Amino acid sequence: MKQLLIIRHAKSSWDISTLNDFDRSLNERGLRDAPMMAKRLHDKKVSIDAFVSSTAKRAFTTAKYFANEFGLNENLIIKKLELYHASSSVFYKVISDFNNDFNSIAVFSHNPGITYFVNALTKTKIDNMPTCGVFAVNLNINSWKDFENAKKEFWFFDYPKSI
């Protein structure tokens, strides 16, 4: 049995108009929501073996808050440039390549691809993956290489309610 948590980065800042999209940081709300959502997952006793993140600043910063809450050194977050504005096919490829020693993985990425991807996983559909939203599925597989064709069971969907 494997578990996958898909997490959209926390709310980012548009304050510096000359900054490119990749380098945007979290805004005040994002800096509040990321640790709050990480704590909420930790308090629910959700287990996470690995944290995998887009290398964009806002996604990686969000991942760092979650890793910190779960007692993982941020240097152990697996960085995947291809998760920056990833399509569903990229998500499937990245996830299929995960190390089988990991049973529960949190993946941090961006919209619009993240919404398309989570809506392709189960019969549970959402209109939009909100910032710092978490969409989780259970998988009856032993190997991540079987992810794409595996039956995926909706586990939960949670997000900061102050959106």
Q: At residue 162, does pLDDT exceed 60?
A: no
Beta bridge partners of 12: 26
Supply the mean pLDDT for the chain: 94
Burial of 17 (0-12, 13-18, 19+ CB in 10 A): exposed
Q: Per residue in 80-101, pLDDT tens?
A: 999 999 999 999 999 999 999 9
**How sure is the predictor about 16, in pLDDT bands with cuts at 50, 70 and 90?**
low
Above pLDDT 70, what percent of the chain?
Answer: 97
Q: Cβ(47)–Cβ(4) under 8 Å?
A: no
**How sure is the predictor about 163, in pLDDT bands with cuts at 50, 70 and 90?**
very low
Q: What is the pLDDT of residue 161?
A: 85
Q: Per residue in 26-69, pLDDT tens?
A: 999 999 999 999 999 999 999 999 999 999 999 999 999 999 99
Q: At residue 128, does pLDDT exceed 70?
A: yes
Q: What is the pLDDT of residue 51?
A: 98
**Distance between CA atoms of 146 and 27, rounded to whole angstroms?**
38
Q: If one looks up domain 2-158 in CATH, what number appears?
A: 3.40.50.1240
Question: Based on C-alpha coordinates, what's the Rg of the chain?
Answer: 15
Q: Return the higher-pLDDT residue of 69 and 19.
A: 69
Pure H helices in 70-138? 88-96, 113-121
* Domain positions in the chain: 2-158
